[in-house]
A and B are shown apart, each in its own frame.
Chain A
Amino acid sequence: MKATQSNEAEHLTVGVLMSGVAALALSDFVSPIYWSLPVIAAVLRLAYGRRFALSEMHASFIGWFGFLWVGLELILGRAWVVAFTDFLLILALAVTIESATPRNHLHRMLTGLFLMLAGAVLTDSVLYAIPLLALMWFIWRASSCLYGLEQVGGDLATPRIRHDFRSNSLMVVMTLSLFLLLPRFDIQSKLQPTQPRMATTGFSDQVKLGDFAHDLDSTVVMRIESLDTDTLYFKKQIMNRYWRGVVLSTYQHHVWKQRASKKIHTWSPEQDIILQKNKPNAINVALFREASDHPYMMLANGLTHIEALHSASFQDDLGQFHFSKPPHRRLRFVMQIAPLGSASHAPSPSDIPPQADEKNQDVPQVIQDWVKDTIVPNTPPPQALQQLNQTLHGWTYDLHVTLDEQHPLASFIQMKRGHCELYASTLALAARNLGIPARIVNGYFGGEWNDTGNFLIIRQQHAHSWVEVWLNGHWQRMDPTPASRWQLTNIQFPAWDHVWETVKLTWYRYILEFQNQDREALFKSLMNGLKIVLPWLLLCLMAVFVLYQMYQKVKKYRHTIHLHRHQHVIDMWLLQHAIKREPFEPLRCIETPQHIKPEHWLAWLKQWEKDVYQQKPLPPIRQLKKQLKTLDSHLRRDSKKWLF
């Protein structure tokens, strides 16, 4: 085994392994400490070569240590998924620093592949495509290199890297074709959810006043895209919607809590949720929900229908929609929403009368005083509430206001600045003080329109609190927060962020959530596109063909003209040497020109024929004349020699 080939095999198999490590490292379940171990070992291995190696037995000790360590982790209560990934990465460490043998190459390739497959189950990141592509190239090249080792007659040289581009491009096309064409079987619901994620974000059932601002970052919570074609209409309809989530009814010691609720409707898996039947002009949307640890579904106002979900769900008397078991993976809902302005309401059973918690008039004194000071005496409660709402709209929105932790509402009223939770809490408590049952709702409002991908992004920073009050036998939404709230943004490079979010959504839509019906839709749209494009395509192909033929003819003609000029120069030179060549007579058939040595003549002739018959253009005439002069100079040199 030559050292160079063996070193190349070593580098390539480390590449296979590291691609697998990179794929698994994208999973939420993998700690950076564990994935950095094999990465550091690989860097050292590549830097120091085989000096940084352990014998197979010593490396196996690391593997056994990993096994025991993971056993200990499981005993200590670590999740089995986390322990499993830890074990795989310790194994990768052992294989990385194992001494280079054919068996070690196989270990690396198999472990790398296994890590990649584990990554496929444990992550859904768009970045997974990068290690996958890298693994494809490394496996191809490493296999090619290993195949060539120790063959009869010595090691075979690995083909040059530039030859891999064609095969790899072909493999990418084949992979995507197989991905598109192969059928999906509807048995995945029998399994645990694939690609689970660690707990991420979500509203809780208990909120302390003032904590709201802590979680408001640019983390994406949902992406919503239209399934219809009219993007402008969709944008107009989907922006400025309230996405209703958790309902909090009990206020005690500056903390809002959820009251006890009961199920009023349950849906089994694969059952459609129909809230309003046959709603005309309903907009079809697909909602991609990021994984979260809370069971609530955030649903837009005007929701009429949700297509079958993979897990069971239910609705409670607070109008909240829950998953029976919170799914730890990204989900895609397909739903219909009524257009804005049509007679639709929040997706709650809004007519369930308020309970004791929502009617509780045990309102803090500071609110009572503020209500008394703000409203005109003897104003009917609904009008008084509107008056209070108007007053609050005139105050200043400040997300980072410093509040007195002991008396947050008092300091809010005193400073007249704060965030939506304070506005909502103040109005809800004020409504109760006026005798109107009220509660606050946490959810999202508005969102950010992505012009690149034409979809709506709802981030954590779009979280919002508003109030629902019981008026005229219905729960009605009131939002006292000033409009300046929505001008806040903390995205540093919005254009780049839009592109990146589009890439992510494309990944979720066309890779992670690709199903049989998507294939049908894709083929239909392809066929439709082809019908439009085909005549143009044929026309273009014909034009290209004609142009190519013309180009070839011109090239040939130019070559002939060029050749004629060259031949004229040669004929003139031959005449000087007393030879008259007929146009049909090949140079090879004429006699050697006078005073030119046959070997010089033959050497030149060989070179000339090579120039004529190769595909490249002929050398310039200047060069030809120079060559002929060289033949003459040989003659002069020889005659000088003879003279002396």
Chain B
Amino acid sequence: MAYDPSDLRLPPWLLKLLNALIRLRIPIAPHWKIGMTRAGGLMFFSLLGLWSAAFYSGNNLLYLCGGMLLSIAFLACIQGIQILRHVPKLGHVLPTVLEQGVPHILRQQQAIETSASAMIEVVWNQADIHMQINMQRQRMTIMAHLFSKQRACTSIAQQQLSTAAPLGLWQLEYQRQDAALWLVLAAPVAWSETQSLGEVTASQRIDGDEYDDLRAYVAGDSIARIHWRKSTLNPDTWRIKRFTQAQPSHHQKHVRVDLRLPAYANEKDFDRLLGMAWYWLKKQGQHSHEHFILGQQYFDLAVPTDYQAAIKALAQAKIESMPPLQGEGMLLSL
């Protein structure tokens, strides 16, 4: 927004007043609210002054000018409403699974019918998800930086869209239903039978330099596997190359996770345990023939719905007091 009245060096008290005014949201219809931007505030006061002068003087040219400005303001509001109504449902663009503490950058383009230019803020209040939609010339770019510190499994539906388009005068808010499942799992913790935390030790030799994909760095990973071009100095941004050859061979077909929390462990340890479970589950992928026991729940990963249910269960796993169900396979516990 490049025409902010604060640029006019208004006195601080006036800016404070303007800011208080732009925080106001007035309901105009069910699910719709309107507020004003700073430029809109300026427009509002201009209209107020202009119509006062017109009503008092009876000058018909002032009526015309006032009518012109009012119709600009009104049409901007109508077009803003139309823009928000034309935003397609966005639930499907959310990632199926987000990992705790791992940022997910979302950037997607879609063709749309409307030719308006607009920047739209999308918020799912239930999960604190923020998105931005850049809409121009019948194309829509969805951008989001998704990040969560907490594990979550939430059904989100209440979505709020807001925009100041097309003129930057009115801030329109639209509440609508856009259902999606917000799954945040514990960050995967790499582990192997040798109990090394890193996926591949430095001593393991890899042929060739074609990697399959990247994953977040975890303690124990070889420095040689870090994709330096896609990383910065901050270890949180480090990405580890994953090679086909690098996949450790796992002999353990089944995993049982003990969700009890011993006295010496804390919540972080519990999340770490779930991270290890998630790491294993992710590696098995869908349609594998393994079994997965999470506390009191049993999942046959060969059944697709069970795989999804296992992910959901991992996201909403809570500390239990009972030992895990009996069965074969490796036991993951604290």
Partner of B72, one of A140, A184, A513, A514: A140
Most chain B Cβ neighbours within 10 Å, of A109, A147, A195: A147
Chain A residues within 8 Å of B5, by CB: 106
Residue A79, interface by CB 8 Å: no
What number of residue pairs across chains A and B have CB atoms under 8 A from each other? 166
Contacting B at CB under 8 A, from A128-155, are: 128, 132, 135-136, 139-140, 143-144, 146-154
A128 pairs with B4, CB closer than 8 A? no
CA distance A158 to B167 in the complex (A): 10
Chain A residues within 8 Å of B9, by CB: 103
Which range contains the number of B residues in contact with the other chain?
35 or more
Partner of A156, one of B39, B46, B79, B136: B136
Residue B64, interface by CB 8 Å: yes
Chain A residues within 8 Å of B7, by CB: 101-103, 106
Chain A minimum-CB-distance residue to B5: A106
Chain B residues within 8 Å of A119, by CB: 61
A194 pairs with B166, CB closer than 8 A? no
A146 pairs with B2, CB closer than 8 A? yes
CA distance A560 to B308 in the complex (A): 47
Partner of A178, one of B8, B50, B59, B67: B67
Residue A185, interface by CB 8 Å: yes
Partner of B68, one of A1, A106, A132, A187: A132
Contacting B at CB under 8 A, from A491-515, are: 511-514
Chain A residues within 8 Å of B39, by CB: 143
Chain A residues within 8 Å of B134, by CB: 151-154, 156
A153 pairs with B63, CB closer than 8 A? no
Report the minimal beta-carbon distance from B96 to chain A, rounded to whole angstroms: 25
CA distance A514 to B66 in the complex (A): 15
Residue A261, interface by CB 8 Å: no
Selected interface stretch from B114-122, B179-187, B238-246: B114-122
CA distance A94 to B74 in the complex (A): 32
Chain A minimum-CB-distance residue to B116: A159
B60 pairs with A513, CB closer than 8 A? yes
Residue A578, interface by CB 8 Å: no
Chain B residues within 8 Å of A511, by CB: 60-61, 64
CA distance A236 to B137 in the complex (A): 62
CA distance A147 to B118 in the complex (A): 9
B141 pairs with A185, CB closer than 8 A? no
CA distance A356 to B243 in the complex (A): 124
Residue A550, interface by CB 8 Å: no
CA distance A321 to B242 in the complex (A): 102
Report the minimal beta-carbon distance from A103 to chain B, rounded to whole angstroms: 4
B58 pairs with A148, CB closer than 8 A? no
Residue B211, interface by CB 8 Å: no
Residue B56, interface by CB 8 Å: yes
Chain A, residues 187-230, CB within 8 Å of chain B (1/0): the string is 11001001100000000000000000000000000000000000
CA distance A123 to B61 in the complex (A): 9
Chain B, residues 62-91, CB within 8 Å of chain A (1/0): the string is 111111111110111001000000000000
Partner of A132, one of B1, B64, B169: B64
Assess A152 versus B143: contact at CB under 8 Å? Given A103-B8, A135-B68, A147-B166: yes
B2 pairs with A102, CB closer than 8 A? yes
Chain B, residues 126-147, CB within 8 Å of chain A (1/0): the string is 0000001011110001010000
Report the minimal beta-carbon distance from A109 to chain B, rounded to whole angstroms: 8
CA distance A156 to B163 in the complex (A): 13
A153 pairs with B132, CB closer than 8 A? yes
CA distance A460 to B70 in the complex (A): 41
B132 pairs with A191, CB closer than 8 A? no
A121 pairs with B62, CB closer than 8 A? yes
Residue A62, interface by CB 8 Å: no
Assess A188 versus B71: contact at CB under 8 Å? Given A143-B167, A157-B117: no
B71 pairs with A178, CB closer than 8 A? yes
Partner of A191, one of B2, B57, B165: B57
Chain A, residues 173-184, CB within 8 Å of chain B (1/0): the string is 011111100101
A106 pairs with B3, CB closer than 8 A? yes
Chain B, residues 81-121, CB within 8 Å of chain A (1/0): the string is 00000000000000000000000000000000001111100
Partner of A120, one of B2, B58, B59: B59
Which range contains the number of A residues in contact with the other chain?
35 or more
CA distance A140 to B137 in the complex (A): 18
Residue B55, interface by CB 8 Å: yes
B72 pairs with A512, CB closer than 8 A? no
Chain A residues within 8 Å of B53, by CB: 117
Chain A residues within 8 Å of B275, by CB: none
Partner of A175, one of B1, B42, B71: B71
Report the minimal beta-carbon distance from A23 to chain B, rounded to whole angstroms: 9
Chain B residues within 8 Å of A101, by CB: 7
Chain A, residues 58-92, CB within 8 Å of chain B (1/0): the string is 00000000000000000000000000000000000
Chain A residues within 8 Å of B58, by CB: 184-188, 194
Residue A641, interface by CB 8 Å: no
B167 pairs with A144, CB closer than 8 A? yes
Report the minimal beta-carbon distance from B57 to chain A, rounded to whole angstroms: 5
B55 pairs with A185, CB closer than 8 A? yes
Report the minimal beta-carbon distance from A509 to chain B, rounded to whole angstroms: 11
Chain B residues within 8 Å of A176, by CB: 67
Residue A371, interface by CB 8 Å: no
Residue B168, interface by CB 8 Å: yes
CA distance A106 to B43 in the complex (A): 12
CA distance A504 to B30 in the complex (A): 47
A102 pairs with B3, CB closer than 8 A? yes
Assess A121 versus B63: contact at CB under 8 Å? Given A135-B68, A150-B2: no
Chain B minimum-CB-distance residue to A512: B60
B3 pairs with A139, CB closer than 8 A? no
CA distance A188 to B117 in the complex (A): 43
Chain B residues within 8 Å of A253, by CB: none
B3 pairs with A117, CB closer than 8 A? no
Assess A147 versus B70: contact at CB under 8 Å? Given A128-B61, A156-B119: no
Chain B minimum-CB-distance residue to A158: B117
Residue A268, interface by CB 8 Å: no
Chain A residues within 8 Å of B50, by CB: 117
CA distance A512 to B134 in the complex (A): 45
Residue B310, interface by CB 8 Å: no
B143 pairs with A153, CB closer than 8 A? yes
Contacting B at CB under 8 A, from A1-52, are: 1, 9
A512 pairs with B61, CB closer than 8 A? yes
Residue A391, interface by CB 8 Å: no
Residue B164, interface by CB 8 Å: yes
Most chain B Cβ neighbours within 10 Å, of A110, A124, A167: A167
Chain A minimum-CB-distance residue to B9: A103
Partner of B65, one of A106, A117, A152, A160: A117
A171 pairs with B136, CB closer than 8 A? no
A175 pairs with B64, CB closer than 8 A? yes
Residue A539, interface by CB 8 Å: no
Chain A residues within 8 Å of B8, by CB: 103, 106-107
27 contacts between A and B (CB under 8 A): A101-B7, A102-B2, A103-B8, A107-B8, A110-B42, A117-B62, A120-B65, A136-B68, A146-B2, A147-B168, A150-B2, A152-B132, A156-B117, A159-B115, A167-B75, A170-B75, A171-B68, A174-B67, A174-B70, A175-B67, A175-B71, A178-B70, A178-B71, A191-B56, A195-B59, A512-B60, A513-B60
The 9 lowest CB-CB distance pairs between A and B, nearest first, are A188-B58, A147-B168, A149-B2, A174-B71, A120-B61, A178-B67, A143-B167, A175-B67, A156-B117
> B residues near A, CB below 8 A?
1-5, 7-9, 39, 42, 46, 50, 53, 55-72, 74-76, 79, 115-119, 132, 134-137, 141, 143, 164-169
> A residues near B, CB below 8 A?
1, 9, 101-103, 105-107, 109-110, 113, 116-117, 119-121, 123-124, 128, 132, 135-136, 139-140, 143-144, 146-154, 156-160, 163, 167, 170-171, 174-179, 182, 184-188, 191, 194-195, 511-514
| Sample of 16 further A-B pairs with CB below 8 A, known A103-B8, A121-B61, A124-B61 | A143-B72, A146-B168, A147-B164, A147-B165, A147-B168, A150-B1, A153-B143, A154-B134, A159-B137, A171-B68, A171-B75, A174-B71, A179-B60, A184-B63, A185-B58, A191-B56
